[in-house]
Amino acid sequence: MEPLTHDIALLPAPPPTDPVEFWNYYRETAEKTAVYPGFASMTGLTYVSLGLHGESGELCDQVKKVIRDDRNTFVPERHAKLCAELGDVLWYWASAARELGVECGALINLDYAPREAIQLPPGMGTPSATSFAALALVKHVAKFTDPVLDALGDGQARPQDREALIRRLGAIYHCARSVALTLDVDIRDIAIGNLCKLLSRRDRGTIHGSGDNR
């Protein structure tokens, strides 16, 4: 596949090379494109939780199309769509971290890595491996829902809810990284592409646009 290309001139500053600093930079920059109600409230947490589900589902839908429409091979157009959908997952992941008041750099700790993200299946670089990694991502996004539901039932996130949510955001990061590995792309490159896309939309006033209006 061709390497990803981005208009990095859109970025407010060069991305750091240190992994922890990079993901803190990503969260801070992603926040500049965040337009949704209820920041730092149950509404905001609900919104980003729904977004995580929606975007991870769209990622899986693209993997499904690799199997059905592309005869189980990666064609460049589908590969680009997979990277774009994974970038959208990362945006909601970072927004969830923002809602919980945690830096994204703290979430890349290997203590959060689930088994599915460490022991990848054979066939790296193939749709089979991507399918496995995408399903593992969906599994851990679903687990993120449990403490959100508890918090919604109580009307606020209790300390134990917040701790569980942070742990599960860490697992989501590692599953997303596994998806990127199966696509033979650095997850940080996908994150930069996502920032450039959204900063461009923000500057053009189309952050809420759809289809050709973006």
Q: How many Å apart are CA 69 and CA 89, to the nearest integer?
A: 23
Tell me if 22 sits within 8 A of 16, measured CB to CB.
yes
Q: How many Å apart are CA 64 and CA 56, to the nearest integer?
A: 12
- Would you place residue 4 in the very low, low, confident or very high pLDDT band (cuts 50, 70, 90)? low
Residue 93 has pLDDT above 50, yes or no: yes
What is the arithmetic mean of pLDDT over 27-40? 92
Closest CA to 14 of 3, 5, 26, 2: 26
Residues 138-158 pLDDT 10s: 999 999 999 999 989 888 888
Closest CA to 173 of 23, 14, 31: 23
Q: What is the pLDDT of residue 158?
A: 87
- Would you place residue 178 in the very low, low, confident or very high pLDDT band (cuts 50, 70, 90)? very high
Residue 64 has pLDDT above 70, yes or no: yes
Q: How many Å apart are CA 139 and CA 129, to the nearest integer?
A: 15
Token pair, residue 46, equals 């609900």
> Could you tell me how far CA 148 lies from the centroid of its own chain?
18
Q: What is the pLDDT of residue 84?
A: 96
Which segments of the chain does DSSP mark as H helices, in order?
19-31, 42-68, 76-100, 115-118, 127-154, 159-182, 187-204
Q: What is the pLDDT of residue 213?
A: 46
What is the arithmetic mean of pLDDT over 107-121? 91
Q: What is the pLDDT of residue 208?
A: 67
Q: Which residue has the higher pLDDT, 180 or 208?
A: 180
Mean pLDDT of the chain: 91
